[in-house]
Chains A and B, each alone.
Chain A
Amino acid sequence: MLFNSLTFVVFFAVVVTAYWTLRSWEARKNLLLIASYLFYGAWNPPFALLLFATTALDFYLGGRIAAADSPGARKAWMWASVAANLSALGFFKYGNFLLENFQWLLARAGVAYQPPHLDVFLPIGISFYVFHSLSYTLDVYRRVCEPTQSLRDFTLAVSFFPQLVAGPIVRAADFLPQLKEARVLKPGQFGWGLALMTLGLFEKVVFADTLLASSADTIFAYRGSLQSLDAWTGVLAFSGQIFFDFAGYSTCAIGAALCLGFNLKDNFRFPYAAVGFSDFWRRWHISLSTFLRDFLYIPLGGNRSGPARAAVNLMIVMFIGGLWHGAAWTFVVWGLIHGGLLVLERALKAAAGEAAWLQNPLVKAGLGLGTFVAVCFAWAFFRATDFPTASRLVRSMAGVLSGDALLSTREIIQVFSVVGGLLLAHWSLRDTSLEAVVARMPRPVIVAIWTLMLCAVILTQGSGNAFIYFQF
């Protein structure tokens, strides 16, 4: 079920009404669990069984980790959970990719091998719920989280419908405590939740789908070289589209959870105002970057073993981070570009030290713009379906190649206006929060903006385009 669909509007209205009508907290939790599985099963009912199987396994393994009386046993159960979760992810998401690469390697060695094509559907949101579930066993292992005794609560923590298929990656350690006592709505929580849901939908259906998607699609589908203006417009369009699409989903998820009395953390914090790449990753897909930091970078040794080892660790983390997004080398290269930029930034920071000129607002703005431009170049690899396309785009953007003009003037104006506005908004909000800004805003302005967003959403007559991150 998509947030931007009429089915979800009806589903959510029914669930919220029933949820707040029920008096018993246990009954409410049961309702949310049933609703979450309905939400997921509406795509493909059999995949709900897979969701439950991975959840039940981690519930069991979490209990075994906690009950183990030796460090070796704890570690063995933890690795069992890691292996089980990554095997499920590997089979459904990376099976064909691994076979194709295996075939390629054998061919280099002169062995002709034709692997069978695995005709498997990718269960929607598997990358997210596997991480939701895995975070539990890893946190139990780290003693950050007490094992829960309730399979129902854990199943709800993994499948809670607002965040189930496209994040944020909510850790069981953050969610399970919220299931202990009946949730109570704070004043304004429901209204603010609805306002956030409107904002998220507006970002998705108006900015991402209506104003940016077609330009990005046209440019990335083209097999020839492009004029620099068109290449830049296409890549900027995708930069805006992926932000509005994914941040829109996260905002809807946070809003929907608030309407049910739950708190989910921010997944984005005005990322296009980042100054530097470490700042970018503190602002972009925060739930993934903190997951990778806590469960991969730090266990690898982090920066505790010197700059060289830290650089290797960063590259490993960004390699995995790239691959998490999809079974293609273009995603890996995207991750490695970010890894390389992070390493380079650390080296430059070490060389520059605490230089005063770095705090100059103009320098900061320049560095921020430089960060954004580099992020855009990296997006070309993320969005392109193959390296020749990415390479053509990058060379067209750099002015090395010149070619065709594919976009209308209206599309170019649309993209530059929306992305320009996005940059200005992020830059002006980078050191504050949306809540703080709204709290200071005159009430008529809030009503006007909220109404405009709602009217624009209605005017798009959404065709129910799926969110980009569903495919990951």
Chain B
Amino acid sequence: MPSSTFNFEREIPSLPWRSLGLAVVLLTVAATAAWEIRCRAWGYAPTLDDTSDLWAEQRRMVKPDSIVVIGDSRALFDTDLDALEQGLGQRPVQLALVGSCAYPILENLANDENFRGTIICSLLPGIFLAPAGPPVENSLTALKRYQKGTIAQRASHRLSLLLEDRLAFIQQEDLTLEQLLKRLPIPNRAHAQLPPRLPPYFYTLDRDRRARMTEQAARPGELQERIKAGWIPLFTPPPPPSYVPKEAFLQGMGQAIEQRFKDIVTSVAKLHSRGGKIVFVRYPFTGELKKMEDAGTPRAGPWTRIIKETGAPGIYFEDHPELASFDCPEWSHLSGPDSVEFTKRLVPHLKKALSTPAVSQQQGQKP
């Protein structure tokens, strides 16, 4: 007897489904409204999630002569797009990503034959040189969405923007079920190798991907202390994995980082060869984080080498008193108002840097 049955009918539980459904809708709407009110009372406000879709939307806006900002969260928080537009005469496209290594984005732009514009690149050596791991994956995920995103994904993104703009509880970094479960104070095994926790919600984002630190985070207090406490483990290099001998691991890392230096030089040379420009920027950082970064990746190390080997101009905030006078409330980023002022003060340096012809070591000649 074949398994096919021509007149198969599914059983339907005999219940008043219309009234049950209505009750479910009413209760769900009420529960959602109550949750929205609770989230707003906690200090959350409607803002956009920094998704790969939002990034991909911006990437699609890059034109041949665009000014593009790439890098980590410092470029995202500390670069005010309005101030930059006013200063440089062109609205930049914000492609910096929180916790990401900018190299895959730089490579993507360098390989884009249509692009001959200007890149402002945040150079935070600890993650710009990361050969693998979450910083690289963040960038690759965003790039993949740009390159392979489907029509359905774009449509879902457009629809979700309508909700994110209006509802405070839509906050993927802090208020999803998964994030709420992570808050449970359950002690871990002493020897468990767990990734560091990411900082809590402390910034808003607009459609242009302009990030602003919230006022609550910019004020001294419990939230600010929690964010500061999060940076130390995040910026501490993880120990070598147990399944690779330490020497072999360090040797492999060294080779991968060395390769990354070469790849950066190659990408910058490609960009220069088409008439494109790039300027590296070291954005402000303070407090314990500064001590840590200065010790781990001193300026004389990766920064100096990249500037020298690429021939691209660099702006190191500490070289200029007007850029070095800012304080980062949570050690790593500028507050919203300070980011506007910082960008205004950065503009003359950018103009000067971009007017200087670059001489890349690999190219050995002016582009």
CB of B178 within 8 Å of the partner chain: yes
Partner of A406, one of B15, B24, B192: B192
> Are B178 and A460 touching (Cβ within 8 A)?
yes
> Are B15 and A446 touching (Cβ within 8 A)?
yes
> Are B12 and A192 touching (Cβ within 8 A)?
yes
Given contacts A224-B243, A451-B24, A455-B31, are A461 and B175 in contact (CB under 8 A)?
A: yes
**List of B residues within 8 angstroms of A186 by Cβ:** 9, 12
> Are A192 and B17 touching (Cβ within 8 A)?
yes
> For chain B residues 253-270, which have a beta carbon within 8 Å of chain A?
none
Identify the closest chain B residue to A9 (Cβ): B159
Alpha-carbon separation in the docked complex, A6 to B164 (Å): 12
CB of A144 within 8 Å of the partner chain: yes
Alpha-carbon separation in the docked complex, A205 to B192 (Å): 27
Partner of B177, one of A187, A214, A459: A459
A274-302: CB near B (< 8 Å → 1, else 0) gives 00000000000000001001100000000
CB of A307 within 8 Å of the partner chain: no
CB of B111 within 8 Å of the partner chain: no
B189 to chain A, nearest CB (A): 5
A10 to chain B, nearest CB (A): 7
Max chain A Cβ within 10 angstroms of own Cβ: one of B8, B24, B27, B191: B24
> Are A188 and B5 touching (Cβ within 8 A)?
no
CB of B20 within 8 Å of the partner chain: yes
Given contacts A10-B159, A405-B191, A414-B181, are A191 and B150 in contact (CB under 8 A)?
A: no
Alpha-carbon separation in the docked complex, A223 to B178 (Å): 25
Given contacts A187-B12, A439-B15, A461-B175, are A404 and B20 in contact (CB under 8 A)?
A: no
B195 to chain A, nearest CB (A): 9
> Are A195 and B17 touching (Cβ within 8 A)?
yes
CB of A367 within 8 Å of the partner chain: no
> Are B242 and A294 touching (Cβ within 8 A)?
no
B1-29: CB near A (< 8 Å → 1, else 0) gives 01111111111111111101101100110
**List of B residues within 8 angstroms of A455 by Cβ:** 28, 31-32
Max chain A Cβ within 10 angstroms of own Cβ: one of B159, B171, B180: B159
B159 to chain A, nearest CB (A): 4
> Are A409 and B20 touching (Cβ within 8 A)?
no
Max chain A Cβ within 10 angstroms of own Cβ: one of B5, B35, B163: B5
Partner of B21, one of A142, A194, A439: A194
A270 to chain B, nearest CB (A): 16
> Are A454 and B24 touching (Cβ within 8 A)?
yes
> Are B14 and A439 touching (Cβ within 8 A)?
yes
B152 to chain A, nearest CB (A): 4
A380-403: CB near B (< 8 Å → 1, else 0) gives 000000000000000000000001
Selecting from A98-106, A170-178, A310-318, A357-365, the interface stretch reads A170-178
Partner of A407, one of B10, B14, B192: B192
Max chain B Cβ within 10 angstroms of own Cβ: one of A2, A7, A144, A407: A7
Identify the closest chain B residue to A145 (Cβ): B4
> Are A450 and B242 touching (Cβ within 8 A)?
no
> Are A447 and B24 touching (Cβ within 8 A)?
yes
CB of B214 within 8 Å of the partner chain: no
> Are A451 and B21 touching (Cβ within 8 A)?
no
Alpha-carbon separation in the docked complex, A139 to B242 (Å): 56
Partner of A5, one of B5, B156, B170, B177: B156
> Are A174 and B242 touching (Cβ within 8 A)?
no
> Are B152 and A403 touching (Cβ within 8 A)?
no
Partner of A190, one of B17, B163, B192: B17
CB of B361 within 8 Å of the partner chain: no
Alpha-carbon separation in the docked complex, A45 to B4 (Å): 32
CB of A23 within 8 Å of the partner chain: no
> Are B156 and A464 touching (Cβ within 8 A)?
yes
> Are B2 and A451 touching (Cβ within 8 A)?
no
CB of B40 within 8 Å of the partner chain: no
> For chain B residues 64-88, which have a beta carbon within 8 Å of chain A?
none
Q: Report the contact-size class of chain B (Cβ under 8 Å from the partner).
A: 35 or more
Alpha-carbon separation in the docked complex, A144 to B186 (Å): 59
Alpha-carbon separation in the docked complex, A186 to B35 (Å): 36
Interface size on A, residues (CB 8 A): 73
Alpha-carbon separation in the docked complex, A188 to B15 (Å): 7
CB of B172 within 8 Å of the partner chain: yes
Partner of A464, one of B20, B153, B171, B188: B153
Task: Label chain B's interface by main secondary structure.
Answer: loop
Alpha-carbon separation in the docked complex, A189 to B209 (Å): 45
> Are A188 and B193 touching (Cβ within 8 A)?
no
> Are B186 and A409 touching (Cβ within 8 A)?
yes
B57 to chain A, nearest CB (A): 15
B343 to chain A, nearest CB (A): 31
> Are B2 and A144 touching (Cβ within 8 A)?
yes
**List of A residues within 8 angstroms of B24 by Cβ:** 447, 450-451, 454
Alpha-carbon separation in the docked complex, A435 to B13 (Å): 5
**List of B residues within 8 angstroms of A305 by Cβ:** none
Alpha-carbon separation in the docked complex, A414 to B184 (Å): 12
Alpha-carbon separation in the docked complex, A189 to B21 (Å): 12
B168 to chain A, nearest CB (A): 12
B145-169: CB near A (< 8 Å → 1, else 0) gives 0000011110110011001000000
Alpha-carbon separation in the docked complex, A382 to B182 (Å): 29
**List of B residues within 8 angstroms of A173 by Cβ:** 2, 4, 6
> Are B155 and A7 touching (Cβ within 8 A)?
yes
> Are A294 and B51 touching (Cβ within 8 A)?
no
**List of B residues within 8 angstroms of A44 by Cβ:** 150
> Are B242 and A403 touching (Cβ within 8 A)?
yes
Given contacts A42-B152, A464-B153, are A458 and B192 in contact (CB under 8 A)?
A: no
Partner of B172, one of A211, A413, A451, A463: A463
**List of B residues within 8 angstroms of A187 by Cβ:** 12, 14
Q: Identify 20 new A-B residue pairs, CB closer than 8 A, beyond the known A225-B243, A446-B15.
A: A7-B156, A44-B150, A144-B4, A145-B4, A173-B6, A174-B5, A187-B12, A188-B13, A206-B177, A210-B177, A210-B181, A211-B181, A224-B242, A294-B3, A405-B191, A408-B192, A408-B194, A409-B188, A447-B24, A460-B176
A-B CB contact pairs (8 Å), 25 listed: A1-B152, A6-B155, A44-B150, A142-B2, A174-B5, A190-B17, A192-B17, A195-B21, A225-B243, A263-B9, A403-B242, A406-B193, A410-B184, A435-B10, A435-B11, A435-B13, A436-B11, A447-B24, A447-B27, A451-B23, A451-B27, A460-B178, A461-B171, A461-B175, A464-B156
Residues of chain A having any CB pair with chain B under 8 Å: 1-2, 5-8, 10, 41-45, 139, 142, 144-145, 171, 173-174, 177, 186-192, 194-195, 206, 210-211, 214, 223-225, 254, 258, 263-265, 290, 293-294, 403-410, 413-414, 433, 435-436, 438-439, 443, 446-447, 450-451, 454-456, 458-461, 463-464
Residues of chain B having any CB pair with chain A under 8 Å: 2-18, 20-21, 23-24, 27-28, 31-32, 35, 51, 150-153, 155-156, 159-160, 163, 170-172, 175-178, 180-182, 184, 186-189, 191-194, 241-243
The 6 A-B pairs at the shortest CB distance, nearest first, are namely A191-B17, A224-B243, A42-B152, A439-B13, A173-B4, A6-B159
